[in-house]
Structures are given as C-alpha cells and as structure tokens.
A and B are shown apart, each in its own frame.
Chain A
Amino acid sequence: MAKFRKGEGRETPGMNTASLPDIVFMLLFFFMVITTMKNDNLKVRAITPSASEVEKLELKTFVHTIYVGPPIEPIKYGTTPRIQLNDEIAQVSDIARFIVQEREDAREGTQDVLVTSLKADKDKVKMGIIIDIKQELRKMGQLNLNYSAKKGKKLAE
C-alpha cells in the first residue's frame, strides 16, 4: 500500500516525446532516398513539349541531360537557341567530349545503358540544332535517346 501515493498523477502527463527522433530520422531517410539534389541551373529556357506516349525515365543514375533552348541571359549568350551540357552553355562540337566524360563517370559495364535525355524548348527550338545534336550522338555511339516530354493528352481518337 505504500506503493500507491495519494496525489500522484493529478496533472495531465506531458506528451511523450520519446518517438520524435524516430520520426526525424524516418523523414530524413525518406527524402535522402526519394529526392534528387541534382538541380541543374538552367541557363536556357527549355519548356518541354507534352506528349501522350511518354514513359518514365528509369534509373536516373544512367541519365545525362542536354538542354536546348534560347538562353535566359540574351546579353551574354544571344537569342538563338543554344545547348547546355550539365551546367555550362556549350557548342554542339562539345558534345563528343561530354559523352566521353559521362562514360568515364559511369560505372564499369554500364556504358550501353546510358541514356541521353534531350530537353528542348517546344516553341523556340527548330529541328536544325536537334539534328546536329543527334548526329554528334550517333558519331559517339550514344544511341539511347529520350525526348523529354510532359505527359499530355492524346491528340485525336
């Protein structure tokens, strides 16, 4: 009887915060796994077209991106569409070096799985520069290409 004391437990107990660290770490791991920190600074305007037959790009680690569009700073780079490889505005002739670099950075044996994602502005980009890019990729043997597009509606029935 001495174990039960009168008066104990009259105040409402505070919130049990013992599980908060678990929640913190769960959230942290979730975001570390799901999201990508790769936010390439877009130096060109590349609003991709929409298409209904798009497929998800698997395995982001094997994807490198070429952006094509009018530069955001026309004073420095002009108004005609330019290409951007990773972070820098470049010429079409730089694509060869870019592909070699990506192949070196990739893991052994994954060279054939590398995919080039082409993000080109839908309005301002004409086929001329796209054709040049494709020729350069073909010369380098980089044949897996993905025309980046947003999921859109079917055109007609």
Chain B
Amino acid sequence: MARKKRSIPEINAGSMADIAFLLLIFFLVTTTIETDTGIPVKLPTMEIKKDVEVNERNILEVLVNSNNQLLVEGNPMAVEELKQKTKDFVTNFGRDPKMSDSAKVAIVSIKSDRGTKYDVYIKIWNELSAAYNELWDAEARKKFGNNYADLLPADKKKITEMYPRIVSEAEPETYGGKE
C-alpha cells in the first residue's frame, strides 16, 4: 500500500497572539514609563565658611515670608519679575552701584520662612534657574552658535565659569510666628 508521506505538524502558534496580548496588558497596567523630572540642586555642606568677605552689592537678597510675599533687596516684588531682576543683577558688570560688580562674584541669597508654601519656593528656584539658563543660552549662541544644551561639556564649563550660578540659602527663621 502506498503510504502518503506525513508531514510533521508544526506547533500551533495561533495562541501566541493571546499570550502576547496578555503580557502587554499586564505590563501596561502594572508599570509606568516614569520620566522623573525636577530641578537639580547641590546642597551646601554643613561647614560654615566665613572666610570670604563679600561686598554687599554682590549679593541679591531674596526674602520670602509666610504670606508667600517676596522682598528683593528691600523692595516687594512679584515672583514673575524675579527672573529679569536676576539677569540684570548678574549682567550688571559694575554699572549700577547697587548691583553686582562682575558676574563671577554675583551671589543670590534666598531666605525662606518656615511658613512659606513649597510651591512658592520652587517658583523662586525656577525663576533663578530660568534666569541663568537664559544667560547661558544667549552666551552659548554668541560664542559657539549653539544652544547651551547642545554644547560639549568642556564648552559648557567655559560658559558656566563666566556666569556661575551661586545661590546661597540662609539658615531660616520664623518671622511671622506662623508655622
């Protein structure tokens, strides 16, 4: 009797699609493609350095009270104006006698009250970061023709040395008595 050659049956891969969808749905539900973003900050060490005498004109003093109001160099100011004020302060180069001598020694000092809202504090940090980022961007475009973010690390260093971001935070007090 002539025997028909039987082909070896292939694995039935029809249910692989179900497995694929199950795994997909499992991962979609249980995991997150968490892109964590934030403002990076380097905290100062605990040692209190009192060696350098800083000229008062080189410090931009930003005070915040528990009512979330800003006092910049003795004048009340809205958070929105802080960025421009910081830029003017850093790029003063000695013109206005009340503002900084040179960008390399310009220090911004933040003093917050224990009752200040965290949101306001972040806004202040954001405006300061924005001011410096804009200065760095403008300088990067002038010197290297590229945005600051697209530069090589060595070039970035040159620009941050021209406009160093020095922000000092004073030990806080409780002004309004409110916590």
Contact with A155, one of B14, B34, B44, B79 (Cβ below 8 angstroms): B79
Complex: A39 Cα to B30 Cα, angstroms = 8
Interface: B77 (CB within 8 A): no
In the complex, the number of residue pairs spanning A and B with C-beta atoms less than 8 Å apart equals: 167
Q: Which residues A4-23 have CB closer than 8 A to chain B?
A: 17-18, 20-21, 23
Which of B18-26, B49-57, B152-160 forms contacts with chain A?
Answer: B18-26
CB atoms of B16 and A24 under 8 A apart: yes
Contact with A31, one of B31, B46, B122 (Cβ below 8 angstroms): B31
Q: How far is the CB of A122 from chain B (nearest CB, A)?
A: 4
Classify chain B's interface size: 35 or more
User: What does the 1/0 interface line of B49-88 toward A look like (CB < 8 Å)?
Assistant: 0000000000000000010000000000001110110000
Contact with A147, one of B16, B35, B41, B44 (Cβ below 8 angstroms): B41
Complex: A34 Cα to B34 Cα, angstroms = 9
Classify chain A's interface size: 35 or more
CB atoms of A149 and B16 under 8 A apart: no
CB atoms of A18 and B13 under 8 A apart: yes
Q: Which residues A83-135 have CB closer than 8 A to chain B?
A: 115, 117-118, 120-123, 125-128, 130-131, 134
Interface: B141 (CB within 8 A): no
Complex: A115 Cα to B43 Cα, angstroms = 11
Identity of the chain A residue whose Cβ is nearest the Cβ of B118 in the assembled complex? A125
Interface: B143 (CB within 8 A): no
CB atoms of A143 and B125 under 8 A apart: no
Q: What residues of chain B have their CB less than 8 Å away from a CB belonging to chain A? A: 10, 12-14, 16-17, 19-20, 23-24, 27, 30-46, 66, 79-81, 83-84, 112-119, 121-123, 125-127, 129-130, 133, 172, 179
